[in-house]
Amino acid sequence: MSDAAKLTLGPLLFNWPADWTAEFYSRIAELAPVDTVCMGEVVCAKREPLLGATLAEAAGELADAGKEIVWSSYGLIADEKELAATRDLVESSDGLVEANDITALPLLQGRPHAIGPLVNVYNEGTLQWLVSRGATRICLPPELPREAIARLVESAGDAELEIQVFGRMPLALSARCYHARAHGLHKDGCQYVCDKDPDGMPVDTLDGEEFLAVNGIQTLSHSIVELSAEIDELLEMGITRFRLSPHRIDMAAIAHVWRGLLDGNRDLPRARRIIETVAAFAPPSNGYFHGRPGAELVI
């Protein structure tokens, strides 16, 4: 099974400057042993003009380096303008498009496509319906326990199932912009303040405990999902794709750790040690996989 395993870099969820973004993807093209890179704006349609040209150029560089490019749709399509932009994305893309909102599905009818982790695929009926409509690759939501993942793999048929194994977990999207509100601004006049937090803005409870992170209209986990110790179980289940979610850290180093795991290097303590060192801005977690609260780390 490990021979068939593929490594995916998910879409950039955060509002980074163009020069950061160009540098990041150049490094991925040159150094990161990933098979697939998901591109495009997923969180906020207002950000798309800021990086459109940069992402298009980066996609060419990544394709030249042998990476498969998948274009990801918005996670929340809220008006006709965003629907039209999604239609343009679908019509202009030759390869796979990843739907992160079911509003995109009618536009993808009749052509192979991917499903992102923001679509709630929690049961076999939903999975089989998506596959019947042309989904060939599905990244499952991060909050599923191992038992649910195993059942979904059995129902997937020829579709590839993917699990996010690194990065802050995408939990929800809202019509409100948390970043703008936190800075005393309205969503329409946000001044793109989400660029102040390149890995998300930490949110604490009233008691001062670390709780979540926000990214514009998006709610993320505070912790970083880290499933290196679960690699064998995931492979035995039949998971064939493993997703890394980008952060402002050395993602090439994270990719090399996971490439080693997928190629059979099972020095799990070393893998976790490297991941925790590189991604030291937040604690690791694997609770959801083990049927526990998501922020927990089960050892």
Select from 3.40.50.10490, 3.90.230.10, 3.40.920.10, 3.20.20.70 the CATH code of 2-171+223-290. Answer: 3.20.20.70
216 backbone φψ class: left, alpha, beta (φ>0; ψ -120 to 50): left
pLDDT for the residue numbered 2: 41
Q: How far apart are CA 190 and CA 193, in angstroms?
A: 6
pLDDT at 257: 98
Please give the chain's pLDDT, 299 residues, in tens: 345 899 999 999 999 999 999 999 999 999 999 999 999 999 999 999 999 999 999 999 999 999 999 999 999 999 999 999 999 999 999 899 999 999 999 999 989 999 999 999 999 999 999 999 999 999 999 999 999 999 999 999 999 999 999 999 999 999 999 999 999 999 999 999 999 999 999 999 888 888 999 999 999 999 999 999 999 999 999 999 999 999 999 999 999 999 999 999 989 999 999 999 999 999 999 999 999 999 999 99
The predicted pLDDT at position 4 comes to 81
What residues does each domain of the chain span? 2-171+223-290
* Residues 298, 55: Cα–Cα separation, whole Å: 37
**10: nearest Cα among 110, 125, 137:** 137
Cα(69)–Cα(291) distance, integer angstroms: 33
